[in-house]
Amino acid sequence: MLYIIMAYDAPNSEEPRRTAHAPHMAHLDKIAAAGGKIVLAGPCLAKDSPDRQIAGFFGSLIVAEFASLAAAQEWSDTDPFLTAGVFEKVIVKPFRQVIPQP
């Protein structure tokens, strides 16, 4: 089943984001290794700008397939961005894709 992970950045999280980026990307690879699939993932920009240095971030969004809500929550709870203090709040919920049809 698909799950949405909506993470909101903590204030002043730019440096922890840089430091934890490589471990976070490796953690994303664990989804596929566990038999899941990432539908989409990426940072949410704070401003409407193609230059991410100007735009900054306010969080991240992941839509991915997990075996269960508990598995999605466990993955989220161990994400290096959360443990490094990049995220201050993370919401994990079931998601039903309608468009485009899977």
Domain membership flag for residue 60:
yes
In this prediction, residue 15 carries a pLDDT of: 95
- Global pTM reads 0.92
In this prediction, residue 36 carries a pLDDT of: 96
Domain membership flag for residue 86:
yes
- If we measure between CA atoms, which residue out of 96, 86, 91, 94 comes closest to residue 12? 86
Domain membership flag for residue 102:
no
Q: To the nearest whole number, what is the mean pLDDT of the chain?
A: 95
Any idea what the CATH number is for the domain that residue 27 is in?
3.30.70.1060
Lowest mean pLDDT among 3-7, 30-34, 52-56, 77-81: 52-56
Domain membership flag for residue 101:
no
- Residue 61 belongs to what domain range? 2-95
- If we measure between CA atoms, which residue out of 92, 100, 79 comes closest to residue 2? 92
Domain membership flag for residue 51:
yes
Q: Which tens digits make up the pLDDT trace of 47-86? A: 998 887 778 899 999 999 999 999 999 999 999 999 999 9
Residue 102 pLDDT > 90: no
Q: How many domains does the chain have?
A: 1
